[in-house]
Amino acid sequence: MPSAPSAPHRGRTARGVVRVLAAAGLVVDAWVHARLAGPYDAVDAGLSQGMLFRVEAGLAALAALLVLVWRRPLGDAFAFLVAAGGLALLALYTTVDLGQFGPVPDMYYPVWTGDKKLAAAGQAVAALATGFLLLTRLRRPPA
């Protein structure tokens, strides 16, 4: 009869699954923003909305890579900030008309489109997953 996996092994496996979920959410976020960047280049106030979408796509892709490959708390924290920050801005610009400020264009659009819902879902999954990773960091037993 095979023995049950040890607690540390189960913890590492669970964290690996959560890392894949976090990366998947960030990849969805990156894909949506990269795909939509071109049409939003016309919304411009010094910085175009398309350029801001490309920055979000790049940050999300980098965060996904860090979560999967680097596996350090700093990378997880970066990924959390990218996902949670992106989700907060998406919700803000959907519900509040901030107008243009400085070089940032007016990005208010009060409709939850399919792309917005997809990006928000990816960001939410990534934020929850990376939050879990940060809050449940495995401790090494003293030597």
- The pair phi, psi for residue 25, each rounded to 5°, is -60, -40
- Note the maximum CA span of the chain: 67
pLDDT in tens, the chain (143 residues): 555 556 666 778 899 999 999 999 999 999 999 999 999 998 888 899 999 999 999 999 999 999 999 999 999 999 999 999 999 999 999 999 999 989 999 999 999 999 999 999 999 999 999 999 999 986 555 55
Element (H, E) at 82: helix 73-95
pLDDT score, position 44:
84
pLDDT score, position 6:
62
Instruction: Report the distance separating Cα 41 and Cα 47, nearest Å.
Output: 9
pLDDT score, position 5:
58
Model confidence, pTM? 0.88
State whether residue 102 is helix, strand or coil.
Answer: coil
